[in-house]
Each structure stands twice: as structure tokens, then as C-alpha cells.
Structure 1
């Protein structure tokens, strides 16, 4: 008699009544591509990463976030380990993420939020590739690529950094940190306010 308590599979797709994939469970040999509008918008993305997990898809079949996790150890015993839970803006990249990364005992983990533009990520990737492969001067090329990715900004982080600081950091619309609240590895607290150039203009406790 077959064991009805477990199912061993390498990939499992959950589909809706129209056959559209809405959730995909996968191992490290079946990492799904980044699908948007029925296309793989980042060919090769994640394909060699040592991860397994599950991917979320919206009603149109676009990737909408997911949970991935994995680890690697080399012949000398060095290791990396990571986990990430993300939720994507419609037709864009993640706007909310819980994440962990560890390397030989140095760990960073926490919660982040991003701003994303209302334009399509697929169109931005296509335009970026066109500029990258163009014959314009490198300085002009980089300036044009920067314009393409305007609006992709890391706005907030709350967590623990590899140096042992527990930190809350709030950034402006350009991604520049403006407020930092820290309890360092020696349990000393401080709070800093910064200007748009990254200079500390006020801190608590004051020096």
C-alpha cells in the first residue's frame, strides 16, 4: 500500500482554474525563471544558486515574490547561508523583504522596504540592455542606465548587521540614509540625523 502521509517531488505547481501557475514549490535543480508577461525577463537569474523554496505568482502569471533559502560549504569548511521572503509590487521587483545572510559566523538579518516606479520592470530591463550594448561613451552610457533605474530605492532597514549593530535606518527618496538609530555591539545606543550628502548634522547623545 502506498504511503499516504508524504509525497516526494522535485517540483510542484499549484494552478488556478485556467491553468495559470499561482504557486510553485521547487528544489535547487528546478529553480523557476523570473516570469513577467509570459517571458523570462532575467535569463539565467538564480539558476546556479544553491536554493530551494516557493515562488508566488499573480493572476496574470507574473512572479510576485517568494521564499528562497539555501546554503553552501566548501572543502575547507567555509560556508554561506541565506533565506529571503519577498513581496513584489505589480509588474515590478520586491517592495518588502525579510532576509538573512550568514558567512562563517558573520550574520546580517532584518526587514527592508523599497520604493519602485510604476513603470514595468520588464521594459526597464530591456531598455537597460539596449543601453549596455550601445556604442555611446561609457560615461554617457552609465548616466542613461542610471536614469532607467531611477525610483528603485532602498528606503528602510531594521535588523542586525555583520558588525553586531542592531540598527533602524530610514532613507530619503534618493536612497540616502537620513535617520539612524543604533545599539552597537557594546550595547551603546545612539541616534543620528544626516543631510542629503551623508553628513551627520545632529546626534544623540551629542558629542
Structure 2
């Protein structure tokens, strides 16, 4: 083999080696680019974002949490059924269970009324499975007074009273309409307060326990003036026993 042939053979080998190196390098670069693209697609880092609503969802698209302004709140879902959200719409954080039902949330608002007094509040609630809220922690201001505390409620299951209130609203005035309202209440449709622990609008520190109809029966209070009392009430709200015994001129609890 001549010197020229050896040179050609050597160059051919080097060319094949270079192609192999370039192939491996290209494959590696491709993998790096794909990995970077996947990383960019699945994760992002932001210093600041402006949004009206954020949906936290499962891979299947079910809501697990929604954060929204007052205009973009989702309608409530209980026992798999969507209904209309009642009352003023407020900025909220809504939680959902694995069934896709709403099971609690956090709402807040605050503004001044026509007289320049605050109308404000924050409300954190926890719902029972298949029903409405059972426990809430809140602060509420209106009319120049405020209330802050923990509340525990009674409320039935949506499936037990579903449709009864709608039927009551559509029924003409009369015994049948009254019977539908009572049936809705008996089925657990009416939410009742069973316990309150906090500060009342009368500025008393209080623990208030009520019966299944929401009527207070035991009230433990400390008034702003420092008077401590334990009151027992009948179903009409009248004090039937008080400790210590009320004295003439004693401050009435609020």
C-alpha cells in the first residue's frame, strides 16, 4: 500500500469516528433539549402574577381548590349537584373533596356603608360530607358593632332535603306551602347555630350553647364591665336561673 493509500484509509477512519462522535453528541443534545422542554412545560417560576382565578385540579381535571375574585367564583357543588350561590359574591378560596363536592372555604370582604361605617368580615368554614358547613371561624362588622368567634352548626344532608325549598318557593301561600317549609326544616335544610365561643356584639366574652332549634339555653358571659354570669334559658329566651343570682341594678348581659 502506497503512502497515499494509507493517508486515504486513515482519513476515512477519522471521518467515521467523527460521525460517531457527532451522532452521540447530537443524541445527547436532543435528550437535553427534550428534558429542558419538559421541565419548562411542567414548572415555572414567577416573581409576580395577576390573575382573576386559579384552579387547583387533579390530573383528571377535578377541582381540589379554587382561588377566585368575587366575579369568578364557581357555583357550589353538594352531593354531586350544582346550585346557585346565594348572597353577595366575595373573594374566596374554595376547597373540594375527592367526590368533587365543595367542603369548605375562606371568604372575606370589607367596605364602608352609606354612613361611613365598616361593613366587613372574614369567614373560614368547614362543611360536612354531603352537606353544608358544620364549623366556622369568623369576624363580622356592621352597624358600628362587631362579633368574632367560633361557631358550630347543625345541618342535614343535601340528599334529604334537596328540592323541598324550591318547591316551597314555588307553592302558593297557604297550608301546603307552610307544610313544605316545615318538611324542609325537619329534613335538616335549615342551618341552626348550636354553639358560639367568642366576643358578642355587646362586647361580652361568651360561650353560648343552643338546642336543635337554635335557641340559646346556656350562656356563660363576662361583660365589658367585668360582671361574670352563667344563665339558663327556656325555649322563649327567658332566663330561668342565673349564677350568681342577679342583683338589683346589675348589668344585663348582651
Shorter chain as denominator, the TM-score bin is 0.7 to 0.9
1:18 aligned onto 2:60: yes
Partner of 2:50: 8
Query: Aligned partners of 2:104 and 2:110: how far apart in 1?
Result: 20
What count of residue pairs does the alignment treat as equivalent? Answer: 200
TM-score by length of 2: 0.71
User: RCO higher in 1 or 2 (8 Å CA, sep ≥ 6)?
Assistant: 1
- Tell me the TM-score normalized by structure 1: 0.86
CA separation in 2, counterparts of 1:90 and 1:71?
30
Aligned to 2:182: 146
Number of the residue aligned with 1:161: 200
Q: How does 1:32-47 map to 2 (within 5 A)?
A: 32-41=74-83, 43-46=84-87
Which residue is 2:251 aligned to?
A: none
Q: Who is 1:120 aligned against? A: 158
Tell me which protein shows more helix as a share of its residues: 2
Q: Secondary structure at the match of 1:149?
A: helix
Aligned CA distance change for structure 1 residues 98 and 92 (closer, same or farther; 3 Å):
same
Distance in 1 (CA, whole Å) between partners of 2:200 and 2:94 is: 27
The answer to whether residue 167 in structure 2 is matched with residue 130 in structure 1 is yes
Deviations 1:51-78 (A, max 9, x none): 2120011111111110000112246533
Q: Distance in 2 between matches of 1:75 and 1:200?
A: 37
- Structure 2 distance, partners of 1:13, 1:170, is 38
**Structure 1 residues 104, 131: closer, same or farther in 2, change over 3 A?**
closer
Contact residue 33 and residue 45 of structure 1 kept, 8 A: no
Structure 2: gaps (5+ residues):
1-43, 247-254
CA distance in 2, matches of 1:86, 1:22: 16
> Which 4+ stretches in 1 moved above 3 angstroms?
none
Higher strand share: 1
Structure 1: segments with no counterpart, 5+ residues: none
RMSD: 2.2
Residues 42-191 of structure 1: pairs in structure 2 closer than 5 A: 43-46=84-87, 48-49=88-89, 51-74=90-113, 76-103=115-142, 105-117=144-156, 119-120=157-158, 124-135=161-172, 137=174, 139-150=175-186, 151=188, 152-191=191-230
How far the C-alpha of 1:44 sits from its partner, in A, is 4.7
In structure 1, how many angstroms separate the alpha carbons of the residues matched to 2:221 and 2:168?
Answer: 40
- Report Cα offsets for 1:87-141 as digits up to 9, x if no partner: 0011111000011111254111100001222x326x624211112212361x542
